[in-house]
Chains A and B, each alone.
Chain A
Amino acid sequence: MAQLTALTMPKWGLSMEEGTLASWHLAEGDAVDEGTEIADIETSKLLNTLEAKQAGTVLRLVAGEGETLPCGALIAVMGEDGASAPDIDAFIASFRRVETDAAAGEEHYAAPAYRNAQVDGLNLRYMEAGAGEEAVLLLHGFGGDGGNWMFVTEELASDYRTIALDLPGHGGSDKTLPGSGKLEDMAALVLAFIETEELGAVHLVGHSFGGAVAEQVAATGTTRSLTLLAPLLPGLALDRTYIADFVAAKRKRELRAVLTRLVADPDAISRDMVDDVLRYMRLDGVGAALERLGAVAREIAQAEPRPPAARAVAIWGEADRIIPPPGEGCLYNDHVLHVVADAGHLPHLERPTETTRLIRTALTG
């Protein structure tokens, strides 16, 4: 029997339990190489494109377009050209049998896990996946959480101990801010977190406000590398109305209009994403934390321009309206600036494949 492999519904991030197969990019019989786009998968957050991990031929499309399936469910059978139909049928049948066995189902992907750390009197939640000598610490932006890295973590986890932290005031972490909530206080807490969890010298990846925190951490601690996605750095042209409008949005429609400004394609913001953010904003303490951090963000934007304290690779969405990409070389004399097309302020969610590839390259220096 020819070697057949299962292509399954991916699990991008901890909260993803199912995905909808929006459209196939390929037909049965098509050959793929590593990196070939196979299908668009709609998650409760955003649409993402599933790529082939290895070369082969699409033998059978099992999932229909529009079908919603749990993570780990069989969506297609791949293998060598010329496999017989009965063999493929047998493979699908055996896969379904395995699927019904919950324990076996677990083995299709090593599920990442939420953990909690007590640091300086605060409870911090983080998502950890993968193993490796080197750790990557991912810091989300203003109003986000570790789940924003959902498309990035699985890819990085194959080589790195990958940790997506919920900053204080965000996600599942305490909503109390460290100290007086200044950038230095946030950076000190992240450093204490790195120490508590014994991560050693980490690769720091920060987005937007998390980029500001990462830069501050890199300036004071030992890091292996610094990668900044649309970072909030002193003197950059931050759209300050965004922060005020985000904090003020109490209704779903208002919030959707605000969140739409984050992305290049307005349709990328799903109902569920708006719901999740609104539910987060209703939690006790979030309003006060965001007010404080919003003020900190405005102070950073108003400060004198200066380049990052440590050598950094910067990744920016070309259509970023929140912090537009700075001109080549204007801030980054010996720093590297990558501009991602068709992406706004969330390149890691809008163009995850390309952005993850750029992050990966940045980590290996």
Chain B
Amino acid sequence: MPRKTYRQAINEALDSEMARDENVIVIGEDVAGGAGGSGEDDAYGGVLGVTKGLVGKYGRTRVIDTPITESAIMGAAAGAASTGLRPVAELMFVDFLGVCFDQIFNQAAKFRYMFGGKARTPLVIRSMIGAGLSAAAQHSQALHPIFTHIPGLKVVMPSNAYDAKGLLIQAIRDDDPVIFLEHKALYETQAEVPDEAYTIPFGEAEFVTEGDDVTVVAFSAMVARCKAAADTLEKDGIEVELIDPRTTSPLDEDAILESVERTGRLVVVDEGSPRCGLAADIAALVACKAFAHLKAPIAMVTPPHTPVPFAPNLEAAYLPSAERIAAAVRATLGETVPAE
């Protein structure tokens, strides 16, 4: 099977759905690029080239460049979705959600509820999250817990190229607003990705590794770091069950609970800030519903509660590392670990 990057996988998903359904449109800043200039027409394909090639195939009526006005992009997309189009709107960096959040959380997320179940809002908002590229505090956040908090939004966080394609096709075919969060450090990662279209249902966790000693739950770019930690721990005979729920809303609670019932130990790893975050949410779920099975306190591995540092060495220290994850796993097993 061909190996493809996360970027290619997302591009293929958009291409395949635009070919399949003429109601699918792409709208955002520089998603085509080059409009009105004298140079190359398909110049950008988005700030990281994810939508490259689409304007050539589907034209400017379906690949729409906008001014730098996130509120207009999200408002137009939410309105278009409520009239029957299937817009895929791009919020270039998730950090910009502040200027368009009303259109997302108080409009798109509420239409179905405010109109007696008669309104459908098949809207996908693609956005880029995460630290690791030294893009500083205003372009590096992982704000998925904010979307996850809002009922009426589905939130997807693919950790690899295979999942990215299947989850994005599923998102575009879904009749509710879906927030699709791409981690900027994953675009160059590769996986085996079928050429054909396929869907991965929401709310179904992937078991990256299976093991009976400790359950580790992680999303997006943290999954690979946890896998690296699990590989190290395996050499010492510690079997980690690594769960990637893939979507934070809906959340595959059964997968997490059933695993913890077996292992009795939980480490949650998340790139979001620790306060009111996803790690705390999953820790609370397990504490409430599987407390009797726990053999050790739940461990959370997150960044500190601070903006993302710009300095590369500080940014590296800010992000949960494989070493910190492995240490947390050992701690749940009662092993003392030298302080970092």
Residue of A nearest to B20 (CB): A284
Q: Is the CB of A283 within 8 A of B197?
A: yes
Q: In the bound complex, how far is the Cα of B203 from the Cα of A251, in angstroms?
A: 11
CB-defined contacts of A175 to chain B, threshold 8 Å:
196
Q: In the bound complex, how far is the Cα of B204 from the Cα of A28, in angstroms?
A: 49
Per-position binary interface string of chain B over residues 193-214, scored 1 when its CB falls under 8 Å from any chain A CB and 0 otherwise: 0101111110010110010000
CB-defined contacts of A271 to chain B, threshold 8 Å:
210
The residue that A279 contacts in the complex, of B198, B201, B207, B210, with Cβ under 8 A, is B198
The residue that B198 contacts in the complex, of A250, A251, A252, A284, with Cβ under 8 A, is A284
Q: What's the least CB distance linking B239 to chain A, in Å?
A: 13
Q: Is the CB of B194 within 8 A of A250?
A: no
Q: Is the CB of B204 within 8 A of A283?
A: no
Q: Is the CB of B199 within 8 A of A250?
A: no
Residue of B nearest to A175 (CB): B196
Q: Is the CB of B204 within 8 A of A282?
A: no
Q: Is the CB of A282 within 8 A of B207?
A: no
Q: Which of B87-113 contact A (CB under 8 A)?
A: none
Residue of A nearest to B196 (CB): A283
Residue of B nearest to A271 (CB): B210
Q: Is the CB of A283 within 8 A of B210?
A: no
Residue of B nearest to A251 (CB): B204
Residue of A nearest to B207 (CB): A252
Q: Is the CB of A279 within 8 A of B194?
A: yes
Q: Is the CB of B210 within 8 A of A282?
A: no
Where chain B touches its partner, the secondary structure class is: loop
CB-defined contacts of B197 to chain A, threshold 8 Å:
283-284
The answer to whether the Cβ of B166 comes within 8 Å of any Cβ in the partner chain is yes
Q: Is the CB of A250 within 8 A of B207?
A: no
The residue that A284 contacts in the complex, of B199, B201, B207, B210, with Cβ under 8 A, is B199
Q: Is the CB of A250 within 8 A of B201?
A: yes
Q: In the bound complex, how far is the Cα of B166 from the Cα of A283, in angstroms?
A: 9
Q: Which of A298-345 contact B (CB under 8 A)?
A: none
Q: In the bound complex, how far is the Cα of B195 from the Cα of A175, in angstroms?
A: 13
CB-defined contacts of A279 to chain B, threshold 8 Å:
162, 194, 198
The residue that B199 contacts in the complex, of A251, A252, A282, with Cβ under 8 A, is A282
CB-defined contacts of A282 to chain B, threshold 8 Å:
166, 198-200
Q: In the bound complex, how far is the Cα of B197 from the Cα of A175, in angstroms?
A: 11
Residue of A nearest to B201 (CB): A250
CB-defined contacts of B204 to chain A, threshold 8 Å:
250-251
Per-position binary interface string of chain A over residues 265-305, scored 1 when its CB falls under 8 Å from any chain B CB and 0 otherwise: 00000010000000100111000000000000000000000
CB-defined contacts of A251 to chain B, threshold 8 Å:
204
Q: What's the least CB distance linking B203 to chain A, in Å?
A: 10
Q: What's the least CB distance linking A173 to chain B, in Å?
A: 11
Residue of B nearest to A174 (CB): B196
CB-defined contacts of A284 to chain B, threshold 8 Å:
196-199
Q: In the bound complex, how far is the Cα of B199 from the Cα of A10, in angstroms?
A: 34
Residue of A nearest to B192 (CB): A279
Q: What's the least CB distance linking A64 to chain B, in Å?
A: 16
Q: In the bound complex, how far is the Cα of B196 from the Cα of A175, in angstroms?
A: 10
Per-position binary interface string of chain B over residues 218-259, scored 1 when its CB falls under 8 Å from any chain A CB and 0 otherwise: 000000000000000000000000000000000000000000
CB-defined contacts of A252 to chain B, threshold 8 Å:
206-207
Q: What's the least CB distance linking B229 to chain A, in Å?
A: 19
CB-defined contacts of B166 to chain A, threshold 8 Å:
282
Q: What's the least CB distance linking A186 to chain B, in Å?
A: 21
Residue of B nearest to A281 (CB): B198
Q: In the bound complex, how far is the Cα of B170 from the Cα of A250, in angstroms?
A: 14
Q: What's the least CB distance linking A332 to chain B, in Å?
A: 40
- Name which of B166, B198, B210 has the most chain A CB atoms within 10 A of its CB: B198
CB-defined contacts of B199 to chain A, threshold 8 Å:
282, 284
Q: What's the least CB distance linking A167 to chain B, in Å?
A: 16
Q: In the bound complex, how far is the Cα of B198 from the Cα of A284, in angstroms?
A: 5
Residue of A nearest to B258 (CB): A253
Residue of A nearest to B252 (CB): A251
Q: In the bound complex, how far is the Cα of B196 from the Cα of A251, in angstroms?
A: 21
Q: In the bound complex, how far is the Cα of B162 from the Cα of A250, in angstroms?
A: 17
22 contacts between A and B (CB under 8 A): A175-B196, A250-B201, A250-B204, A251-B204, A252-B206, A252-B207, A271-B210, A279-B162, A279-B194, A279-B198, A282-B166, A282-B198, A282-B199, A282-B200, A283-B194, A283-B196, A283-B197, A283-B198, A284-B196, A284-B197, A284-B198, A284-B199
A-B contacts besides A175-B196, A282-B166, 18 pairs, CB < 8 Å: A250-B201, A250-B204, A251-B204, A252-B207, A271-B210, A279-B162, A279-B194, A279-B198, A282-B198, A282-B199, A282-B200, A283-B194, A283-B196, A283-B197, A284-B196, A284-B197, A284-B198, A284-B199
Smallest CB-CB A-B distances: 7 pairs: A282-B198, A284-B197, A283-B198, A283-B196, A282-B199, A252-B207, A282-B166
